[in-house]
Structure 1
Amino acid sequence: MSNLLAVFLVLLLGWFWLDSMRAREIATEVCKSACKQRELQFLDQTVALRRLGLAWRSEGLRMRRIYRFDFSEEGVGRRSGYLVMRGMTLEDLSFGLPTRVRDA
């Protein structure tokens, strides 16, 4: 019985690791494209996990991950934004910048 439990725990840990890597890849791509769309420079080409938890929604229980990323407005200085993923779906993205009004 203990061998079966050990195998189950190893499989669970493997699933969690693969799921976390996939979520991080998606978060990195979302940040990269959002920075490009807003004409910002995505620094370090990566996101960093800040918080991990569970979220219960109408579609069921999902992993909720909060990532932090760095960007620069004009290549000078470093600012931080955050991204919230629920499962593999984007829940929230914030640059902490005021919205720009473009001239028509």
Structure 2
Amino acid sequence: MDIFAALLIFALVAWYWFDSMGALDAARNYGRQVCQDANLQFLDDTVENIKIRIARDKQGRRVIRRTYQFEFSETGNSRLEGQLILSGTTLESVTLDPYRIEP
């Protein structure tokens, strides 16, 4: 019984780790795409997971909802923050700090 419990815990930890890496990669790609679409610079090519919780998606299934934070710049002289909320690996919402639109 002890070996079964240990294998089950190992499987759950491995699943969570692989799921987190997939969500992190998706968040980085979404952040890069959002910045590219808005003609902004995606700084440091990185995102940071700042919040995680279990929620329900539109179909009522339980999913892991993660909030990621990233930095962007409109001119290269400033650092502004943006947030991405992912349900699983699906983009739910994007929030960007107010920035100046340069002509």
When the two structures are superposed, what TM-score results if normalisation uses the length of structure 2? 0.91
Q: Where in structure 2 are there 5+ consecutive unaligned residues?
A: none
Contact 2:53 2:64 in 1 (8 A): yes
Deviations 1:34-53 (A, max 9, x none): 10111110001010000011
Contact 2:24 2:47 in 1 (8 A): yes
Partner of 2:45: 45
Bigger strand share: 1
Look up the SS of the partner of 1:74 in the other structure: coil
In structure 2, what is the Cα distance between the partners aligned to 1:98 and 1:43?
A: 15
Contact 2:74 2:100 in 1 (8 A): no
Structure 1 residue runs of 4 or more that deviate by more than 6 Å after TM superposition: none
In structure 1, what is the Cα distance between the partners aligned to 2:33 and 2:100?
A: 17
Once the two structures are TM-superposed, the CA of residue 2 in structure 1 deviates from its matched residue by: 1.4
Once the two structures are TM-superposed, the CA of residue 95 in structure 1 deviates from its matched residue by: 0.8
Partner of 2:97: 96
CA RMSD in angstroms, aligned pairs only = 1.6
Once the two structures are TM-superposed, the CA of residue 96 in structure 1 deviates from its matched residue by: 2.3
Matches within 5 A, 1:49-88: 49-57=49-57, 58-88=59-89
Partner of 1:7: 7
Change (3 A) 1:46 1:98: closer
When the two structures are superposed, what TM-score results if normalisation uses the length of structure 1? 0.90
Partner of 2:26: 26
Q: Where in structure 1 are there 5+ consecutive unaligned residues?
A: none
Once the two structures are TM-superposed, the CA of residue 77 in structure 1 deviates from its matched residue by: 1.1
Change (3 A) 1:75 1:81: same
